[in-house]
Amino acid sequence: MREHAPLALAMSFFAGMSTFLGSLPVLLCKKASQNFLSFSIGFSAGIMSMLSAADLFPESVRLCVTYIGKTKGAALSILFLFSGVFAFSLMEKYIPNPDDLFKKEKSLWRAGILSAIGIMLHNFPEGMATFIAGTGDLGRGLSLAIAIALHNIPEGITVSVPIYYSTGSRLKAAAFAALTGLSEPLGAALTFLLLSPYLSLPMLGFAFAFAAGMMLCICFFELIPAASRYGKTTHVLSGALFGLIVMSIIMKLL
């Protein structure tokens, strides 16, 4: 493991930092209309929901069923999915909903922060998986890093768009997008330093299910309601549909 560890860490850093690429549209274009904003946030919701429902949770079930058993593995995946939902409810308690009489930007900022937290929790086990694959087989690790990097780009959009529109700061939007990606090499580093003797594939499955539950809640209770405040419902739904299509194409290609 230690022989390939530096390259495996570099792979996880490359995969994680691709979230910064998702902030480039925010950095390069002028502030757009509210309809474009609602479309963009709807697009982000589509990306996150497809990733959670069609990638993270099925992968969790696959890992748990393979290594724990069909009934017990599936039950544990569902349990950790709902533990992610419970964690979201706790976050809502400590990041309270803004009063409707206040500026809409406050709810948009909250949606961006919760999205960043959800994606960081999802990127952390991905960093662990990239590191494990890379230390065992550099070719497999590189393939996994490239696959993760491609779907991390739209995740950067998910975070940077609401942060930018709520603060007006391109720097903050790019910084938050990059910060979510840093959880990936952090997961790889902690795996190398602390968790190597204890890590198992079912543990990765638990982490994926937990992140999926939290991200689905963020989509339906934060992103879509926030997007609806800025434009017509058709813009939100068309953005979400476009996000679903884009993410499904990425998953199909990979």
Q: pTM for the whole thing?
A: 0.68
What pLDDT shows up at residue 98?
45
Residue with the bigger pLDDT between 3 and 235: it is 235
CA-based R_g, the chain, Å: 18
In order, the DSSP letters of 60-109 are HHHHHHHHH-HHHHHHHHHHHHHHHHHHHHHHHHHSPPPPTTS-HHHHHH
CA 34 vs CA 22, 98, 176: distances in Å:
19, 20, 22
**Residue type at position 149:** A
Range of the domain at 97: 5-26+34-253
What pLDDT band is residue 9 in, cutting at 50, 70 and 90?
confident
* Average pLDDT score over residue span 165-184: 86
What pLDDT shows up at residue 74?
94
As for how many domains the chain has, the answer is: 1
Tens-place pLDDT, residues 200-211: 778 778 888 888
What pLDDT shows up at residue 99?
40
Tens-place pLDDT, residues 229-243: 766 788 888 988 998
